[in-house]
């Protein structure tokens, strides 16, 4: 039994239902108010968005879409990114216990996704000075980001979260400087694996790791 309340939104529909970003943002804020007030258990929304660009507070003008594609400005940290079909998005909305600070929370979120990706046999890890989950450079490719992370912490509880690229969308990422990082690549599980999971399966695979690290707050070494 999980400690956190995991809500799969649209992932089990046939075909999977894509979720409007503004609706999900409103739902996050509604749940956040309840969690922050202690009226609700920690909750994780797992879903797949309709195609959208969102810009965090640190996004610069030259990092936005080159063709004028609309962007939703949001209150998370980080820079611009894309959400859409083929990408698992997770929004953990939880209270942080005493002694767990925002940077600790981000490392725990990274660790949960690292463990999930390593479960597919990929050498996922952190990159010094950059958030998210990465694959190392090889003979033909630079470091590649598999998971983007951008969060907000307010009134004792978290909002926003992570985006795991399951299926590729090179055209979407090609219109921006993803997360403001111009000297590295973006990849997906489908580009790295011969037999990648579906988005719905990836959502199931991340649950035990998120529950351990963000629900039970099991100890771990971030090195």
Calpha distance 36→199 (Å, rounded): 29
Calpha distance 161→7 (Å, rounded): 14
Calpha distance 78→31 (Å, rounded): 22
Among the listed residues 9, 96, 179, 210, the single catalytic one is 179
Using alpha carbons, list the distances in angstroms from residue 203 to 97, 108, 167: 25, 17, 13
Number of H helices, E strands in the chain: 5, 11
Q: Which of 194, 157, 196, 202 is nearest to 48 (CA)?
A: 202
Calpha distance 167→84 (Å, rounded): 10
**Residues 189/17, Cβ–Cβ less than 8 Å:** no
**179 has catalytic annotation:** yes
Catalytically active residues, by annotation: 179
């Amino acid at each position: 039994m999980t400690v956190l309340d995991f809500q799969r939104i649209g992932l089990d529909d046939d075909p999977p239902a894509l979720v409007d970003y503004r609706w999900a943002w409103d739902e996050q804020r509604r749940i956040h108010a309840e969690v922050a007030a202690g009226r609700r258990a920690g909750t994780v929304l797992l879903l797949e968005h309709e195609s959208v660009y969102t810009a965090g507070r640190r996004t610069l003008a030259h990092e936005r879409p080159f063709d004028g594609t609309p962007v939703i400005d949001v209150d998370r940290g980080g820079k611009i990114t894309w959400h859409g079909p083929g990408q698992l998005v997770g929004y953990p909305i939880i209270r942080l216990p005493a002694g767990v600070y925002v940077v600790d929370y981000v490392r725990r979120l990274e660790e949960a996704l690292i463990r999930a990706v390593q479960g597919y046999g990929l050498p996922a890890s952190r990159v010094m000075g950059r958030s998210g989950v990465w694959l190392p450079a090889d003979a033909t490719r630079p470091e590649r980001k598999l998971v983007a992370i951008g969060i907000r912490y307010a009134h004792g509880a978290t909002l926003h979260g992570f985006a795991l690229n399951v299926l590729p969308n090179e055209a979407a990422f090609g219109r921006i400087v993803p997360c403001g990082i111009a000297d590295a690549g973006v990849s997906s599980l489908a580009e790295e694996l011969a037999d990648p999971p579906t988005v719905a399966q990836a959502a199931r695979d991340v649950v035990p790791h998120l529950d351990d690290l963000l629900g039970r707050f099991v100890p771990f070494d971030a090195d």
